[in-house]
């Protein structure tokens, strides 16, 4: 576990507010931040529930400090703002919100992509604040921790993107995947990914028991995967001349809704470079060396029992990403399995991890919950 020698040990808690706190990610942030020893939650916004107590929307928080929702128009200055608004709404309001806090962590998709062209291509409308895109650090700490330490703005990563990227990153960084061949990834997703707005698709008779292919192609999180995994080879075991080569992985992603409230299980199929003759042990070494200082990555490599591969069920309410894999003995195909809780490592948990890094707190503070079993 990484330790930070320069930790912020001031006694005064930082003042944070949550914009869009009546939604699922906002509720999860309230749960984490109301218990966080170095944070004081000042305001939580909801237009539909303004003046109501947060427990009316988030009944699990009944015993905690009785904060009332306020309107976004009544926000006052604070140290750090968490934004849990729908994409497009965030960029419409960012100029106003920026005036209220020196630090922002945005959970929407509006500031994750680095160019306005990519945003237009994947979100199918124009970005109205493109000059801010390069001011946000992409919020997967396992990839960008150093940049996050000095950041004022973090754009927390998409949930499916987080799960897929964390599974693939060590292999691409090490340069062991044959990138002439496509990488195929598929996520099975819980219903809370869609937020708390009702629709016919979320109506109980329509959603319950479904195995619904809701985005076979063109899922927006694909753009984040392409952006974050287009990285040069950086492998300490390579000769220096083999490092630094640019790579552009050809990632194809699909998403399927299944009977689950929280959780994502991503199955990624990659083909290893045949000339490297890698064994499973070689691959474990790559994963372990890449993530050796990352407190929220766990490897699942059991030879027996029923939990031999990552499973989102036992990650419920935790900030872990569990990763496992199996190499096909008949070919160079490697099947990587990664799992997270979409509202935690895929949203609020990762945002709090980002805050801890940004504010120089212990990275794991307020996120130590190990999960439940059985559940
Ligand atoms: N759900 C996930 O698994 C997940 C994971 C990662 C990232 N995200 C992203 O995080 C953001 C929030 O997601 P969510 O699932 O929490 O959504 P949600 O449950 O639908 O909540 C949306 C929140 O935004 C507020 N809001 C909506 N339109 C607004 C407006 N025009 N002005 C002011 N407030 C407005 C809502 O407040 P009212 O009470 O006033 O309606 C509500 O508090 C989205 O951008 C989403 O893509 C979601």
Residue of 29, 51, 85 to mutate, ligand 1, most atoms within 8 A of C-beta: 85
pLDDT, tens digit only, all 375 positions of the chain: 333 445 666 579 999 999 999 999 999 999 999 999 999 999 999 999 999 999 999 999 999 999 999 999 999 999 999 999 999 999 999 999 999 999 999 999 999 999 999 999 999 999 999 999 999 999 999 999 999 999 999 999 999 999 999 999 999 999 999 999 999 999 999 999 999 999 999 999 999 999 999 999 999 999 999 999 999 999 888 878 778 988 999 999 999 999 999 999 999 999 999 999 999 999 999 999 999 999 999 999 999 999 999 999 999 999 999 999 999 999 999 999 999 999 999 999 999 999 999 999 999 999 999 999 999
Q: CATH topology of 14-156+347-358 equal to that of 160-340?
A: no
- Cβ density class 253-268: b for 16+ within 10 Å, e for less: bbbbbbebebbbbbbb
Fold category of 160-340 in CATH: Dihydrodipicolinate Reductase; domain 2 (3.30.360)
Report the C-alpha gap between 148 and 228 in whole angstroms: 15
Report the C-alpha gap between 316 and 262 in whole angstroms: 7
Do 22 and 69 touch, CB atoms closer than 8 A?
yes
Q: Which two tokens stand for residue 81?
A: 């703002």
Do 297 and 320 touch, CB atoms closer than 8 A?
yes
Residue of 86, 110, 266, 342 to mutate, ligand 1, most atoms within 8 A of C-beta: 86
Catalytic residue annotation: 159
Report the C-alpha gap between 110 and 156 in whole angstroms: 10
User: Distance from the CA of 155 to the center of ligand 1, in angstroms?
Assistant: 15
Ligand 1: does its nearest atom lie under 6 Å from the Cβ of 43?
Answer: no
The ligand 1 atom nearest the CA atom of 28: 16
List the one residue out of 286, 92, 233, 305 whose CA is nearest residue 297.
286
Report the C-alpha gap between 345 and 354 in whole angstroms: 11
Instruction: Tell me the β-bridge partners of 103.
Output: 80
**Residue ranges per domain, the chain?**
14-156+347-358, 160-340
CATH architecture of 14-156+347-358: 3-Layer(aba) Sandwich (3.40)
Report the C-alpha gap between 136 and 155 in whole angstroms: 6
Q: Largest Cα–Cα distance of the chain, in whole Å?
A: 64
């Amino acid at each position: 576990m990484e330790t930070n020698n320069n930790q912020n040990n001031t006694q005064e808690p930082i003042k944070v507010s949550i914009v869009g706190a009546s939604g699922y990610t906002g509720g999860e942030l309230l749960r984490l931040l109301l218990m966080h020893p170095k944070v004081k939650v000042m305001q939580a916004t909801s237009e539909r529930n303004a003046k109501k107590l947060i427990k009316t929307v988030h009944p699990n928080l009944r015993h905690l400090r009785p904060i009332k929702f306020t309107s976004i128009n009544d926000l006052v200055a604070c140290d750090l703002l968490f934004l849990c608004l729908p994409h497009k709404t965030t960029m419409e309001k960012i100029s106003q919100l920026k005036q209220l806090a020196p630090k922002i962590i945005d959970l929407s998709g509006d500031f994750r992509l680095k160019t306005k062209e990519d945003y237009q291509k994947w979100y199918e409308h124009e970005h109205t604040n493109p000059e801010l895109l390069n001011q946000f650090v992409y919020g997967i700490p396992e990839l960008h921790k150093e940049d996050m330490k000095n950041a004022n703005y973090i754009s927390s990563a998409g949930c499916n993107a987080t799960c897929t990227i964390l599974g693939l990153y060590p292999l691409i960084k090490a340069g062991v995947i044959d990138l002439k061949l496509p990488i195929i990834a598929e996520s099975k997703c819980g219903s809370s990914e869609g937020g708390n707005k009702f629709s016919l698709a979320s109506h109980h008779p329509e959603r319950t028991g479904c195995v619904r292919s809701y985005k076979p192609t063109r899922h927006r999180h694909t753009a984040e995967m392409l952006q974050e995994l287009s990285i040069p080879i950086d492998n300490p075991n390579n000769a220096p001349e083999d490092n630094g080569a640019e790579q552009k992985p050809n990632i194809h992603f699909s998403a399927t809704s299944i009977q689950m409230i929280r959780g994502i299980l991503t199955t990624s199929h990659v083909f290893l470079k045949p000339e490297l003759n890698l064994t499973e042990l070689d691959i474990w070494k790559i994963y372990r060396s890449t993530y050796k200082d990352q407190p929220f990555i766990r490897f699942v490599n059991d030879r027996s029992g029923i939990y031999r591969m990552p499973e989102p069920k036992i990650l419920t309410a935790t900030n872990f990403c569990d990763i496992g894999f199996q190499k096909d003995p008949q070919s160079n195909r490697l099947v990587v399995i990664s799992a997270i809780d979409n509202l935690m490592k895929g949203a609020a948990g990762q945002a709090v991890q980002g805050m801890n890094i940004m504010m120089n707190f212990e990275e794991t503070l307020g996120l130590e919950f190990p999960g439940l079993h059985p559940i």
